[in-house]
Structure 1
């Protein structure tokens, strides 16, 4: 693990593995970079350089207080790439909140993206009810910590069959959630509540794109994935059967095969 010291006192923990065309993967909430472990190993072992950061307030990256929507995360990612000397466009991927950050990165830094992975995520701005819910949840996490929430949502993050059949995956997901900083999680929830609507951006993203969704995902169901797929000019939609909100961990073989095809389309 490395630590990048960025402007404004921001410290970002990251992994930088492999050699070859760069791939940048952005984790969701309330996880950390280790949620991409199957993809990190796959990419680094197959001729790619994979950069996997902990967003500020998650994993090994300290929280820094209020956020400017999701834009602070996007700027952190760009600064991290600069810190690492990555000056060519990347294949950018994100899951859930990470997918929304990936869209924000495309908004701010379109020339730095050559391919886009959007997993179990959505593009529209938050609804008024959704905004209230996120702010209320932020208050709750500051008061209770992450453990009660983690136990409550585990069987929505991953399929109950995965919990029963793959206890190692369940333990990993639970560990990530319980280990997240309440301050970091709360700041991200408030920033996410105020995120812009990325719908109008989608037709302008002309790089090869992959939209992935778990067939059992109730947070961002197939309809959300179809919405993205219908509006991205050069996209492929992959539905991962028997997976919920984290198909990259639940069905890594299927997920990695789809990712490999995106890389072929993006890089050749």
Structure 2
């Protein structure tokens, strides 16, 4: 679908209340396949490839040059424009890692579009000076070397070393997504994340149901980060997935999906059903 000057690739599966899931870096929409396959009989899932990832190519600028930086606000605006094109006023919005930061940005800038939040393995604060330099250096590296060396290096931090050995199909899926990411898109997003704002203030004003999920062995966003998110977001639910690292939805898909399934059931039970109203959903709510 043509949105904000680019063709966004996305899956639209199932029927019922809409749930939008946002992948992280450096992945694509296939990240969410276990959740979509299990829950699309009850919910409508809209799962896009972000700008510069998967089948959604980065938009070139003057003289055909690729953008140097894609801020989180650009990703957020793409999502809102996609919702507009699909005629969706308000949705459950979930994201993992960078996807969670994009979800936080949508909530900050367009909170009227968010009926509930799912934040998985994600970090709410602004980047540190050292982190900014590391992201900029990683951007230069992937442009210089391609995604292969980067993917090989970070695999056993994306999923636990044990799961690399014991879940070879998951490891191969993760490697395939990382290696298949266009380096220009990855580099632009890395630079954008280096300049991200602090979301703790806007998260403290969340007035919709929120679920915080984290892998118990996540090295990138450890459990204490999820606990901090949970403490900041009023009325939020925290779930820790044992035996998983940064990608619990792939490493322990049954446990992760079960957590999400129970959360969504509670959201819509309180809302009085898929089309009703309730504490977390205004009358125009999630449809």
- TM-score bracket for the superposition, by shorter chain length: over 0.9
Secondary structure class of the residue paired with 1:59: coil
The gaps in structure 1 that reach 5 residues or longer are: none
Equivalent residue for 2:28, pick from 9, 26, 32: 32
Kept in 2, the 8 Å contact 1:115–1:262? The answer is: no
The match for 1:51 is 46
Shift of 1:67: 4.0
Shift of 1:40: 1.1
The match for 2:197 is 196
Aligned length, in residue pairs: 262
* Greater mean alpha carbon deviation, residues 159-168 or residues 102-111: 159-168
Shift of 1:39: 0.8
Normalised TM-score (structure 2): 0.89
1:215 and 2:211 aligned:
no
Shift of 1:160: 1.6
Alignment of 1:223-234 (within 5 A): 223-234=224-235
- Structure whose CA Rg is larger: 2
The alignment's C-alpha RMSD in Å is 1.0
1:262 and 2:280 aligned:
no
The gaps in structure 2 that reach 5 residues or longer are: 60-66, 270-287
Superposed CA deviations along residues 108-136 of structure 1, whole A, max 9, x for unmatched, are 11111111110000100000010011001
Equivalent residue for 1:79, pick from 61, 77, 81: 81
Shift of 1:69: 2.0
Normalised TM-score (structure 1): 0.96
Shift of 1:66: 3.8
Superposed CA deviations along residues 212-238 of structure 1, whole A, max 9, x for unmatched, are 111111100011101100000021111
Shift of 1:68: 5.3
Superposed CA deviations along residues 34-65 of structure 1, whole A, max 9, x for unmatched, are 000001112212x1100000000000000122
Secondary structure class of the residue paired with 1:204: coil
